[in-house]
Amino acid sequence: MTAENTADIPVAPAFAGVPWEPGAAKPDPILVATGVRRSFGGLTAVDVDHLEVQRGQITALIGPNGAGKTTFFNLLTNFDTPDVGTRTFEGRELSRVAAHRVANLGMVRTFQLTKSLSKMTVIDNMLLGATGQSGERMWRSFLPFTWRRQEAEITARAEALLERFKLSHMRDEFAGTLSGGQRKLLEMARALMVEPNMVMLDEPMAGVNPALKQSLLDHVKGLRDEGMTVLFVEHDMDMVQEISDWVVVMAEGRIIAEGPPASIGQNQAVVDAYLGAHHDAALDLGED
């Protein structure tokens, strides 16, 4: 399926002319994965020939349960190591970069199960997300005048983010007292303390009540509006259709389709992956 024969489907300007096929080259990729494979015993969980993620856009990674999405996420962020393959971020090869240093390079992630430190306050969770803090060095810890100004700036940034994510009223509460949706907001806000170029969200809508869902959607779109790149794994197809500029579909560890959101339900490979081979009707992703 290519843009030339489906002119009736809207395409984000950044993807104009990009083929709607697995491994399609993008005009300005920020993240590139090539030949990435990961096996567990006799099971090949991920077998991705090529993927490019376009800078400054929202890309959704979807697929049936067990497709390998979260495992692929872990491989991209070095929370797991591929058997073979290369991953580059901003042109830098990531193979020998520790997971926490990947974040320092400007690519941060959240988790399907939130990782807030429940026995620390909300503001302390935020401060923990900031990098390059001078006061963390042993010798400087005895010289407060060398880090107090930076600490004040970091605290001000954390409080501004809490205000933006409507968590300022929980500033001094333990993170463990937050609801599931509030923890999602806290994790996203804490990720922004790194001042990243790319944010990776693993099922940001999982366990979120409807009251907070729209707030999360608006925040994700806000990241793009500020120039950040977003790659997210999601089963909520309403969210995928509403906010994504491009969709990548995985099945059995492979990328089987790429394209704008409106095109994916009409792709026969996607229909087969979700509903089984020889199913002729287009897939209504909103019915999930």
Specify whether 167 is located in the same domain as 63. Answer: no
Residue 113, pLDDT score: 65
Q: Is the pTM of this model over 0.75?
A: yes
Q: Measured between alpha carbons, how far is 27 from 282 in angstroms, rounded to an integer?
A: 29
Q: Is residue 191 part of a domain?
A: no
Q: How far apart are CA 142 and CA 134, in angstroms?
A: 11
In-domain check, residue 252: yes
Average pLDDT value for residue range 78-103:
93
Q: How many CB atoms lie within 10 A of CB 81?
A: 11
Q: Using the 8-state DSSP alphabet, how is residue 52 labeled?
A: E
pLDDT confidence tier of residue 5, bands split at 50, 70 and 90: very low
Q: Supply the mean pLDDT for the chain.
A: 84
Tell me: do 67 and 135 sit in the same domain.
no
Residue 243 lies in a domain: yes
Indicate if 70 and 13 belong to the same structural domain: yes
Instruction: Note the maximum CA span of the chain.
Output: 70
Asked, for residue 41, whether it belongs to a domain, the answer is: yes
pLDDT tens-digit map of 99-123: 888 988 999 988 866 666 778 899 9
pLDDT tier at 2, thresholds 50, 70, 90: very low
Residue matched to tokens 């993927």: 51
CA separation (Å) from 167 to 187, 201, 228? 11, 19, 22
Structure letter (DSSP) for residue 13 = G
pLDDT higher than 50, residue 69:
yes
- Domain containing 265 equals 3-116+196-287
Structure tokens at 28: 């300005």
Share of the chain above pLDDT 90, in %: 46
Asked whether the predicted pLDDT for residue 228 surpasses 50, the reply is: yes
* CA-to-CA separations, 58 to 6, 90, 136, 247, 268, in angstroms, rounded: 21, 17, 34, 9, 23
Burial class of residue 109 (count of CB atoms within 10 Å of its CB; 0-12, 13-18, 19+): buried
The token pair that represents 45 in the structure block: 């969980």
Is residue 158 within 8 A of residue 99, CB to CB? The reply is no
105 and 46, same domain (yes or no): yes
Q: Residues 16-37: pLDDT tens digits?
A: 999 999 999 999 999 999 999 9
**Any idea what the CATH number is for the domain that residue 7 is in?**
3.40.50.300
Domains of the chain: total: 2
pLDDT at position 21, please?
A: 94
CA angle (227, 225, 104) in 5-degree steps: 40
pLDDT at 4: 43
Q: How far apart are alpha carbons 197 and 276 in whole angstroms? A: 38
Same domain, 20 and 152: no
In this structure, are 102 and 222 located in the same domain?
Answer: yes
- Model confidence over 179-224: pLDDT tens digits? 878 888 888 888 888 889 999 998 887 777 777 788 888 888 999 9
Residue with tokens 């939130």: 114
Instruction: For residues 13 and 88, state if they share a domain.
Output: yes
pLDDT digits (tens, 9 = 90+) for 133-143: 554 555 555 55
**Among 43-57, 144-158, 185-199, which stretch is predicted with the lowest mean pLDDT?**
144-158
Say whether both 228 and 168 belong to one domain.
no
Give me the pLDDT at residue 154, please.
Answer: 85
* Claim to verify: residue 211 and residue 83 sit in the same structural domain: yes
Amino acid making up residue 207: G
- Whether pLDDT at 175 is above 60: yes
pLDDT score of 76: 95
Quote the CA–CA distance of 7 and 25 in Å, as a whole number.
19
- State how far the Cα of 133 lies from the Cα of 138, in Å rounded to an integer: 11
Residues 94 and 219 in one domain: yes
Say what percent of the chain tops pLDDT 70. Answer: 84
